Amino acid sequence: MSLTDTAVRLAKPRDRAYRLSDGRGLCLLIQPSGSKWWRLRYRFQGAEQMLSLGTYPDISLSEARNRREAIRKTLAEGTNPSAERKATKATRKNTFEAVARHYLSGLARHVRVNRRSESTLNKAKWMLETYIFPDLGRRPIGSITAQELLTVLKKIETQGLHETARRAKQKCGQIFRHAIGLGYAQRDIAVDLRGLLEAPIVTHHASITEPGKVGALLRAIDGYTGRRETRSALQLAPLVFVRPGELRRAEWAHFDLDEAQWRIPRHIMKMEVQHIVPLSDQALAILRELQTITGNGRYLFPALGDPDRTMSENTINKALRILGFDGDEMTGHGFRSIASTLLNEQGCWTTDAIERQLAHGERNGVRAAYNHAEHLPERRQMMQAWADYLDELRAGRKTVRRQKDRSAVIRSPEPPGQRAA
């Protein structure tokens, strides 16, 4: 006798599981817990087998019957529906999205274990979900062609997002290489697209580089009336000219104020190489004052109300806006441009010392492992001279060191076995 909607709805649990049959192999299994499961019993090549068709009420009686008929049609075609289902599940594991999710989960573990910034992880997830998954997410990753990937990336380009397209290609390449390791792909097809994307238009971070305007900026910062931690960050930024993320994630444990030195661990640095920042007298004064405010915690610049988190990445830029400097004029990253431009224009310091202090990338892997200490004596002198120069600009004196002062530069010895730059 066939079931009715009422009979299915009113079926009550018993001490032991029991079944209500609907005929042609379909039945409803009622568990003692009250859950109701649709089951289909069938025979294939003489062997009796059982399939789950879902739970009630998520799957109604009519839907369960539709699934039964679809499976019986599969049986009539000589295919085992159980084997087909297993094959479908296996296929789901090797889709581009499945492999990408697996890759992202590993990246998330790396972020947690090594205390890396989550911004890179979040940006990668957003980019994949927004631009790649809709077109390629359900495809088996090993069957995707270079032309198909290029088509998706070109769609991003048509929106004027050339840098996003470039980063998406880079991320897809990492996922294809991950798929090779899992055995789901044979090669990284992203390498076939080299040179086929338009080069992004390079836009430099907005900054002020005219000495007189730099002095006005410094005076404005000194007059900032917001949170004291934010003012300290603004005052310290031009003196150390590290990247904004490296500044806001600074920890007291990484500072030796007696030695006038800040050692930034590799996991915080963009290039993943330890970096040394010699501290000028002016920087030390700011830090000692700040130490009375946040010195008992982990971070120099903790989030408001949560000492276990750092200040927002937008805090510095927002403070600059409050001071009257818009995004086209000055950003938190712009302090690096100020230092790079003016230090090079002064002609007092070697290019290597300036580049090392800016922590720009080193292509040579062996050299990169030791570059945090290269040219350190010259860098120490440069950082103090730079702080003194900023004081002159703040006071309105447009003193500029000229090339003739270069003879006073202390040149740091090169590591053994390396040629002088």
**Residue 260 belongs to a domain with what CATH number?**
1.10.443.10
Torsion of CA 230, 235, 236, 242, to 10 degrees: 90
Give domain status of residue 128, yes or no: yes
Q: 311 and 233 in one domain?
A: yes
Query: Looking at residue 154, what is its pLDDT?
Result: 95
Reported as a single tens digit per residue, the pLDDT across 35-69 is 999 999 998 888 888 999 999 999 999 999 999 99
Of the candidates 266, 309, 370, 402, the residue annotated as catalytic is 370
Of the candidates 65, 333, 379, 401, the residue annotated as catalytic is 333
Q: 130 and 236 in one domain?
A: no
Q: At 374, is the pLDDT very low, low, confident or very high (cuts 50, 70, 90)?
A: confident
Average pLDDT over every residue of 200-219? 81
Query: Looking at residue 410, what is its pLDDT?
Result: 38
Q: What is the chain's mean pLDDT, rounded?
A: 87
Query: Looking at residue 313, what is its pLDDT?
Result: 86
Query: Which one-letter DSSP state was computed for residue 132?
Result: I
CB 176: neighbour CB atoms within 10 A?
25
Q: Which of 20, 53, 88 is the last residue of a domain?
A: 88
Q: 143 and 12 in one domain?
A: no
Query: Looking at residue 182, what is its pLDDT?
Result: 87
Query: Looking at residue 280, what is its pLDDT?
Result: 97
101 or 83: which leads in pLDDT: 101
Whether 102 is catalytic:
no
Q: How far apart are CA 149 and CA 164, in angstroms?
A: 14
Q: How far apart are CA 56 and CA 321, in angstroms?
A: 57
Q: How far apart are CA 5 and CA 411, in angstroms?
A: 88
Q: How far apart are CA 386 and CA 141, in angstroms?
A: 53
Query: Looking at residue 249, what is its pLDDT?
Result: 94
Q: 323 and 393 in one domain?
A: yes
Give domain status of residue 306, yes or no: yes
Q: 105 and 70 in one domain?
A: no
Q: 166 and 58 in one domain?
A: no
Q: 306 and 276 in one domain?
A: yes
Query: Looking at residue 408, what is its pLDDT?
Result: 41
Expressed in angstroms, the distance from the first to the final Cα of the chain is: 91
Give domain status of residue 219, yes or no: yes
Q: 344 and 320 in one domain?
A: yes
* pLDDT of 201 above 90: no
Give domain status of residue 200, yes or no: no
Q: Give the least confident one: 83-87, 197-201, 222-226, 348-352.
A: 83-87
Query: Looking at residue 417, what is its pLDDT?
Result: 39
**Residue 56 belongs to a domain with what CATH number?**
3.30.160.390
Whether 370 is catalytic:
yes
Average pLDDT over every residue of 213-231? 95
Query: Looking at residue 87, what is its pLDDT?
Result: 60
209 or 405: which leads in pLDDT: 209
Q: Which of 167, 193, 219 is the last residue of a domain?
A: 193
Of the candidates 270, 298, 394, 411, the residue annotated as catalytic is 270
Query: Looking at residue 205, what is its pLDDT?
Result: 65
Average pLDDT over every residue of 205-217? 87
Give domain status of residue 201, yes or no: no
**Residue 136 belongs to a domain with what CATH number?**
1.10.150.130
Using alpha carbons only, what angle is made at residue 26 by residues 25 and 29, rounded to the nearest 5 degrees? 120
Q: How far apart are CA 234 and CA 247, in angstroms?
A: 10
| Domains of the chain: total | 3
Of the candidates 231, 243, 249, 380, the residue annotated as catalytic is 243
Whether 178 is catalytic:
no
Whether 333 is catalytic:
yes
Whether 336 is catalytic:
yes
Q: 261 and 399 in one domain?
A: yes
Q: Which of 63, 88, 113 is the last residue of a domain?
A: 88
Query: Looking at residue 83, what is its pLDDT?
Result: 77
* pLDDT of 149 above 50: yes
Q: At 90, is the pLDDT very low, low, confident or very high (cuts 50, 70, 90)?
A: low
Give domain status of residue 414, yes or no: no
Query: Looking at residue 84, what is its pLDDT?
Result: 72
Q: How far apart are CA 279 and CA 357, in angstroms?
A: 12
Q: 251 and 122 in one domain?
A: no
Q: At 117, is the pLDDT very low, low, confident or very high (cuts 50, 70, 90)?
A: low
Give domain status of residue 417, yes or no: no
Of the candidates 336, 372, 380, 401, the residue annotated as catalytic is 336
Cα Rg for the chain, rounded, in angstroms?
A: 32
Query: Looking at residue 363, what is its pLDDT?
Result: 43
Reported as a single tens digit per residue, the pLDDT across 3-42 is 999 999 999 999 999 999 999 999 999 999 999 999 999 9
Give domain status of residue 131, yes or no: yes
Reported as a single tens digit per residue, the pLDDT across 317-372 is 999 999 999 888 899 999 999 999 999 998 899 988 999 999 986 544 445 455 56
Tell me the residue range of the domain where 53 lies.
5-88
Q: 135 and 68 in one domain?
A: no
Average pLDDT over every residue of 405-419? 39
Q: 104 and 82 in one domain?
A: no
With H, G, I as helix, E, B as strand and everything else as coil, classify residue 1: coil
With H, G, I as helix, E, B as strand and everything else as coil, classify residue 29: strand
State phi, psi for 278 to the nearest 5 degrees. Answer: -65, 140
State phi, psi for 30 to the nearest 5 degrees. Answer: -105, 120
